[in-house]
Amino acid sequence: MTEDHYRLKEKSDADLHDWLCGQQPGTAEYNSGVLESMRRVAIIEEALEINEEPVRKRELIAASIAVLSIIMTIIAIVYSF
């Protein structure tokens, strides 16, 4: 893991943004700030992905029930004639 030479992990998101805006693009400081921002975004995305798993399970259950309902309706119509 890279070392935090500029103590960016200690900064809040707003402080990191302000610090990054004050750097020249292409410098080591700027690149470190971008990497820290990307690390924070990755953490947020991972947390959101974990929260979506139960939703996907419920969607799969609802879709399965809908398909079974359609099949049972078709069977009921066919046997009623």
Rounded to two decimals, the pTM is: 0.62
CA distance to 4, 30, 49, per residue, from 19 (Å): 14, 9, 29
Q: Whose CA is closest to 36, among 74, 7, 77, 68?
A: 7
| Helix, strand, coil share of the chain (percent; to 5) | 75, 0, 25
Q: Which pLDDT tens digit goes with each residue over 5-53?
A: 888 899 999 999 999 999 999 999 999 999 999 999 999 988 888 877 7
- With tokens 């690390």, the residue in question is 39
